[in-house]
Amino acid sequence: MTEVRERRGAIEAAAERVRAQYGGAIGRRREALVTPALVLDIDAAQRNIERMAARLRELPAGIRPHIKVHKSPELGRRQVEAGAFGLSTATVWEAMVMAEAGIDDLFVVNTVAGPDKIRALAELARGTRLRVAVDEIDNARALSAAAVAAGGTLGVMIEVDTGMDRCGVDTAEEAVALARGVVELPGLRFDGLTGYEGHCSLTPEHDLRLEKQQTAMNFFTGVADAIAAAGIPVGVLSAGGTGTWEWTASNPRITEIQAGTYCVIDNFHGHMAPGFDHSLTVQATVISRRPDRVIVDAGNKSMGAGALATIVGHPELESFRFDEEHGIFAAGQGSTLKVGASVALIPGYSPGTVNWYDAYHVVRDDVVIDIWPVIPRGPGHGGLLAG
């Protein structure tokens, strides 16, 4: 077994490290935390997981939640225990960590290039059911060669650009040609198509967002029909984020959705996916008061999409500006908050918030009961691909 597969214990090491660093917070109320602090209400997160699972039992599609949002092995395990097929990841190292957490069905919802990362994928696929997205034949050939060298089989999902204007084939003809090439390559297993319609979430208006979602899924399923007509079975159709999850999961052609933010929810997604609890917050401290401003110690190095952030219990305060270490809220009508007050901020965008932190302060009834690592975060790989 190669070095990549032998490197175990990343989760345990991370958990030990963050408990050593932050464990003194266990038993404290959230208002007593050193700020800014990433706080997870575990009961609210569990309610979100169970609500999604219950609704999906009534719909055609299942779910493969995207863990790029929370980057937590513990939350990933809870999602699978609630009925998720497996997990979606954005990076190779996220997949490696989730495999170590015991998740045996993973999909890297991204095209992957570079010999080290491709080799790591192939090695991981020897002991884990693993899929990866592709959108060109040369990349598929590189994946094939690595899988053969590793002695395993790597699942391949052809990525279809449904409107995001980033990765993915643009036409049905291109998809058919790529599928024909993939099925001939050793070491690869053609599993189906992926076509995330995340661009729809940039449209807040309900009816227009639904129209864009339907257009995207009509194109997506049309590509699947073209491949099937060419004599190549298409087993999996994977799509759907939190902003469109229920519509996409209701489509009888879609087999799984990739929604992830529902587990923690944020202000960007909240109006598009009502009914989920804000389980993720950032605890902050008021550090300055002006007659028309409240300034907290959580700036844009602590919060994702600060312009959308809100302070729990203070709807009268509107986000004015986020600098690196300052979150500035407008208090046109004044505010009762004073310097030193501890407040909870709902992030504007949760993936861009979680990624700043080493650890979750896990709370129940506003008391810290545990510290969980955020792993792996940032653009790095935590040494998982080193050596």
Tens of pLDDT, residues 222-277? 999 999 999 999 999 999 999 999 999 999 999 999 999 999 999 999 999 999 99
Q: Is 371 helix (H, G, I), strand (E, B) or coil?
A: strand
Each residue's pLDDT tens digit, 1-13: 333 334 458 889 8
Domains of the chain: 12-40+275-373 (2.40.37.20), 104-259 (3.20.20.10)
pLDDT tens for each residue of the chain, 387 residues long = 333 334 458 889 899 999 999 999 999 999 999 999 999 999 999 999 999 999 999 999 999 999 999 999 999 999 999 999 999 999 999 999 999 999 999 999 999 999 999 999 999 999 999 999 999 999 999 999 999 999 999 999 999 999 999 999 999 999 999 999 999 999 999 999 999 999 999 999 999 999 999 999 999 999 999 999 999 999 999 999 999 999 999 999 999 999 999 999 999 999 999 999 999 999 999 999 999 999 999 999 999 999 999 999 999 999 999 999 999 999 998 999 999 999 999 999 999 999 999 999 999 999 999 999 998 776 767 777 764
Say which DSSP state 128 is in.
S
Which spans in 82-199 are helix H? 92-100, 115-124, 137-150, 172-183
Beta strands 87-89 and 105-111 are parallel
Confidence at residue 154, expressed as pLDDT on a 0 to 100 scale: 98
Confidence at residue 141, expressed as pLDDT on a 0 to 100 scale: 98
**Which amino acid makes up residue 70?**
H
For 311, phi and psi rounded to 5 degrees? Answer: -105, 125
Confidence at residue 2, expressed as pLDDT on a 0 to 100 scale: 39
- DSSP lists the bridge partners of residue 282 as 38, 345
pTM, 2 dp: 0.94
Distance CA 256, CA 62 (A): 5
Q: Check if the beta carbon of residue 71 is closer than 8 Å to that of residue 91.
A: no
**Which amino acid makes up residue 177?**
A
Distance CA 222, CA 214 (A): 12
Confidence at residue 380, expressed as pLDDT on a 0 to 100 scale: 66
Beta strands 188-194 and 154-159 are parallel
| Per-position b or e across 153-181, b if 16+ CB within 10 A of its CB | bbbbbbbbbbbbeebbbeebebbbebbeb
Q: Check if the beta carbon of residue 279 is closer than 8 Å to that of residue 51.
A: no
For the chain, the average pLDDT equals 95
